[in-house]
Structure 1
Amino acid sequence: MTRAKTKLFIIGGGGHSRVVIDSFRKSGSQIDGIVDPAYTKCENVVGIPVIGGDEALDTFSIDAIRLINGVGVLPGHLGRWKITERLRNRGFKFVTVIDPDAVVSSRVKVSEGVQVLAGCILQDGVTIGRDSVVNTGVILDHDCNLGEKCWISPGVTICGGTTIGSNAYIGTGATLIQNIRIGEGALIRAGTVVVEDVPPRTILK
């Protein structure tokens, strides 16, 4: 008996989702549907059909599908991460997405659900924890370490040996010098130049 092909669904049909879809399509892979209650069932987004809200997943065996989280993040908002945890707790697995146009060293380590988008440069020894997102044009130099559920906004530069704690948010265009530590849950505003350690859950403007 032929085993049924595993289906791939993306959560969310907004802007971040479309960027991730583009990255995934470049690799020649197919996304079978979009899960988003904001759209009418059978409507499509960039040519991919919307299958409904979370309830649509109940019609499939958990082992028969894989998910991508396409929901974006705003500073201080935890919706994306709550969606991931809710679905993972039900047994679903999340796909890692690395855009073919990203430059990624062979010694980079990424975990389940990580997204690395177009134009990123990830150098030797970089480690990225589960579900973290490295957005368009980010530079992670050698030996940087990102925890879980980090959101690195477009155009960020993080110099070598810097550690980013889990659940940190780094705003667009921020620059972090080498060998500093950003604490868990810290928020770095757009355009900030960071030259020293940032304590956990600190908002740096």
Structure 2
Amino acid sequence: MKSIVIVGTGDYAEMAYQYLKRDNYNKVIAFSVEKKFKTVNKFCDLPVVDFEEITNFFPAQTHELLIAIGPNKVNTVRERLYLEAKDLGYDFVTYISPRANIWDLRMVGENSFIFDGCVIEPGAKIGVNTVLWSGTVVAHHSTIGDHCFLAPSVAVSGKITIKNNCFIGINATIRDHVTIEEHCIIGCGAVIKKNTIKNGVYSTKGTDLLRVDSIETQI
């Protein structure tokens, strides 16, 4: 088994490390981040090396990577680092939680991360470098593209296409047979019932403050 280096030092990288550690991926030995974003020399008690120097410290022949960068700029930062690492010859960790319900493990692309409680039904496909956070459901015959990020408890109905580099916010719901075009942002709690447009940003109105007397308000 090759040793593992996690690229990233944000929340996603930390959670990925915790999940890998819990599930006995004991070969995580370091983190890496681009030099201009490096603020610490250790993260989760492991060393942090400059991504620009990663081949000098951890060559591709003996190490594999998990690119664990969040959905910055509709996932294009994670996409760029994934493609750069691939050009350097690295293999990638593909993590599927044993607490997830996945119909066909072969339908999950490399460097993707499937958290606890996710459901991927028959005929569904997950692209490369894509994140499904806890509790997300991808129903039958739906396709999630490359470099996507689905936040907790997203509900994707049947025969949906989510194209590359999309972000779907927590508790968003997408109706069956809908296409989400590339580089879309779907905000938390949004309900999408028809096709979107490329680069579209969709949101739902937040809840307004009604009162400031919660102690006296009857529930």
Q: TM-score range by the shorter chain?
A: 0.7 to 0.9
Match of 1:189 among 181, 187, 190: 187
Structure 2 partner of 1:24: 20
Structure 2 partner of 1:14: 10
Equivalent residues in 2 for 1:31-70 (5 A)?
31-36=28-33, 37=35, 38-41=38-41, 43-45=42-44, 47=45, 49-54=46-51, 55-70=53-68
Structure 1 partner of 2:147: 149
* Percent of matched pairs sharing the same residue: 21
Cα distance in 2 for residues equivalent to 1:76 and 1:107: 25
1:76: Cα distance to partner?
4.0
Structure 1 unmatched runs, 5+: none
Equivalent residues in 2 for 1:158-197 (5 A)?
158-197=156-195
Other structure's SS at 1:78 match? helix
Number of matched pairs: 198
Structure 2 unmatched runs, 5+: 204-219
1:176: Cα distance to partner?
0.5
Supply the AA of the counterpart residue of 1:34: F
Match of 1:78 among 59, 76, 79: 76
Deviations 1:47-90 (A, max 9, x none): 4x124211143233321110001221245463222222222222
Cα distance in 2 for residues equivalent to 1:104 and 1:57: 34
CA contact (8 A) 1:107 1:124 kept: no
Q: Look at both structures and tell me which one has the larger radius of gyration over its CA atoms.
A: 2
